[in-house]
Amino acid sequence: MSHIQKTDPDLFDILNREIEREESTLELIASENFTSPAVMEMSGGVMTNKYAEGYPGKRYYGGCDHVDEAENLARNRLKVLFNCDYANVQPHSGSQANMAVLMTFLSPGDTVLGLDLSHGGHLTHGSSVNFSGKLYNFVSYHVSRESGRVDFNEVKQLAKDHKPKLIICGGSAYPRFIEFEQFREIADSVGAFLMADIAHPAGLVAAGIHPSPMEYCDVVTSTTHKTLRGPRGGIIMMGTDFENPWGIVAPKSGRVKKVSELLDSTVMPGIQGGPLMHIIAAKAIAFGEALKPDFKEYAQQVVDNAQFMANQLMELGYKLVSNGTDTHVILIDLTQNNISGKKAELALGFAGITVNKNMVPFDEKSPFVTSGIRVGTPAITTRGMGQTEIAQIVNWIDKAIHASDNDGILSNIKKEVNILCESFPIYPHLNH
Ligand SMILES: Cc1ncc(COP(=O)(O)O)c(C=O)c1O
C-alpha cells in the first residue's frame, strides 16, 4: 500500500486523479513532457532532506559528500551534452536562471532588448508585470507580420537607437530555429552581450537538431523540463568562460574574477539559498538520458511529428504563425476561424485534448482571451505516438473547434481520445 494512501487519503485521491488525467488525455502543451520513472524516483528521493548551500567542495553544511557527487555529475554531464565550458545546475526554475543572468550582466535601469511577450517572448524577457520589466529598461522587438519570424531590420534599428547592454534571444512561442548568428552580428555592432534562452528547444539543441547557441552567445539559460525531459528546473551555461569586464576582483588575491564565478554567486547567495539536491540529482539522470543515442531519435521524432501536424493543420485551412515549424512548437492563429484562443482551449479540454491559449503576433484580443492556441509534440512523442495518431488528433482538433458549443460531440471525441490513450500508457507501474 502506498505511504500516501495510508497517511493522507485526500492527497492520495488527488494524486490518482492527476495520474488518471495524464494517462487518459492528450497533452499538447508545448512546454510539458513526461519524465522517465528514474527521473521521477530521484525527484522524490532522500536527497530532498539535504541542505547544501554552496557548491560542491565549498558547502556551508556538513554531510554533503554524496550530494556533491550528484551535483558534479549533473554539471559534467551538462557540459558534455551542450559542449560548454561552464554549467550551473542550481536554479530552481527557468525564471531564476534568467534572473541570475540579468543580475550578473546588468545594473538596475540598464537597457535590454527582448522578444515581446505577445510575439512569442517570455515574461522574464521584459514583461512589465515581471521583475525583468520592473528592474531593467526593456525594449521589445517583434516578429514581422508577413513571415512570423523575428524582424531583424527592427532589431538592428532598436539596437542602434537604444544601445542595449544585453540582447536576449529565444522565447516561449517561437516555432522557428532561434537565429543566434544574426543576433550575434547585431550584438557585436553595438557592443552588447548576447543571452540565449533555450528553455523550449533545449532537448532539440542537445540532440543536434536545433543549432547550438554556444559559439554565438555569451551566456545561455534553459529550463530542464520541456523538450529536455528532465525534472522541473533551470540551468545556466557558457560556451566559453571569460574574465568579467566590470573590473570585479577577488578580495584577497586581486585576481579578476571569471564571469562563471559571478554567475555562481548571483545564484547562491544572490537569489537562492539551499539548492534542491533531489532535483539536481534528477537533472543529472535526465542529462544522462539525453546523452544516449535514443534521445536523438526521440528529439527527431518530436520535430517530425510537429511538422507533420503543422502540414495536416494547414491542409485543413488553419493559419499557422510563420506557416509551419522547425521545432516542437506550432502556433495556430484562429483569427479567421471565428473562435478565440480561450474558447478553443476550453472546447479542446472538454474533448480530452490539453492545449494553451496563446497570443499571436499583432493580436487584438487580451492575453486572457487571445486569438491563438499553442500546441506541441514533446509529450505525445514520449508516449510513442507518430503520424497515424497525429492525423487522428488533428481531425479531433478540427472537429472540436467546429463544435465548440456542442457538448455531445466534444464528449464523443473525449471517449475516442481515452481509447487512443489506453494504447499508449505513460506510467504503467503506477497504481491508479
Ligand atoms: C523561454 C522561457 N524562458 C523561461 C521560462 C521560465 O521557466 P519556469 O517556468 O521554470 O520559471 C519559460 C517557461 O515557460 C520559457 O518558455
CA distance 87 to 112: 23
Same domain flag for 286 and 300:
no
Count of CA atoms in the C-beta half-sphere (13 A) of 352: 23
CA of 370 to the centre of ligand 1 (A): 20
Q: Quick check: is 227 in a domain?
A: yes
* Cβ–ligand 1 contact at 172 (below 6 Å): yes
Query: Active-site residue numbers?
Result: 51, 53, 197, 223, 226, 232
Tell me which of 123, 130, 172, 174 to substitute to probe ligand 1's pocket, judged by most ligand atoms within 8 Å of the beta carbon.
172
Provide φ and ψ at 168, rounded to 5°. Answer: -105, 130
CA of 112 to the centre of ligand 1 (A): 18
CATH number at residue 128: 3.40.640.10
CA distance 195 to 103: 13
CA distance 158 to 396: 43
CA distance 264 to 219: 13
Report pLDDT for 1.
Answer: 73
Which residues on neighbouring strands pair with residue 139, listed in sequence order? 113
Residue with cell 534599428: 157
Query: Closest residue (by CA) to atom 6 of ligand 1?
Result: 94
CA of 338 to the centre of ligand 1 (A): 30
For the whole model, what pTM was predicted? Answer: 0.97
Minimal CA–CA distance to 147: which of 186, 119, 125, 114? Answer: 119
* Cβ–ligand 1 contact at 328 (below 6 Å): no
Same domain flag for 23 and 45:
no
From first to last of its 432 residues, the chain has per-residue pLDDT tens of: 789 999 999 999 999 999 999 999 999 999 999 999 999 999 999 999 999 999 999 999 999 999 999 999 999 999 999 999 999 999 999 999 999 999 999 999 999 999 999 999 999 999 999 999 999 999 999 999 999 999 999 999 999 999 999 999 999 999 999 999 999 999 999 999 999 999 999 999 999 999 999 999 999 999 999 999 999 999 999 999 999 999 999 999 999 999 999 999 999 999 999 999 999 999 999 999 999 999 999 999 999 999 999 999 999 999 999 999 999 999 999 999 999 999 999 999 999 999 999 999 999 999 999 999 999 999 999 999 999 999 999 999 999 999 999 999 999 999 999 999 999 999 998 865
Given CA atoms 288, 229, 104, 59 in this order, what sign does their dihedral have?
A: negative
Domain count, the chain: 2
Same domain flag for 266 and 332:
no
Distances (CA, A) of 412 to 77, 399, 416, 417, 423: 46, 11, 7, 9, 18
Query: Closest residue (by CA) to atom 9 of ligand 1?
Result: 94
CB 181 within 8 A of CB 154: no
How does DSSP assign 104-169, residue by residue? HH--TT-EEEEE-GGGT--GGGT-TTSHHHHHSEEEEE-B-TTT-SB-HHHHHHHHHHH--SEEEE
Query: Closest residue (by CA) to atom 5 of ligand 1?
Result: 94
* Cβ–ligand 1 contact at 343 (below 6 Å): no
Ligand 1 closest atom vs CA 225 = 10
Same domain flag for 321 and 255:
no
Given CA atoms 26, 29, 34, 40 in this order, what sign does their dihedral have?
A: negative
Range of the domain at 365: 7-30+294-422
Provide φ and ψ at 169, rounded to 5°. Answer: -115, 155
Q: Which of 259, 290, 321 is the last residue of a domain?
A: 290
3-class DSSP state of 232: coil
* Cβ–ligand 1 contact at 221 (below 6 Å): no
Q: Which of 250, 272, 290 is the last residue of a domain?
A: 290
* Cβ–ligand 1 contact at 223 (below 6 Å): yes
CA distance 373 to 330: 8
Residue 418's contacts (CB-CB under 8 Å, 6 or more residues apart) are 24, 25, 352
* Cβ–ligand 1 contact at 197 (below 6 Å): yes
CA distance 280 to 92: 9
Same domain flag for 97 and 217:
yes
Same domain flag for 152 and 259:
yes
Cell of 40: 521521477
Beta-strand relationship, 193-197 and 86-88:
unpaired
* Cβ–ligand 1 contact at 91 (below 6 Å): no
Q: Quick check: is 428 in a domain?
A: no
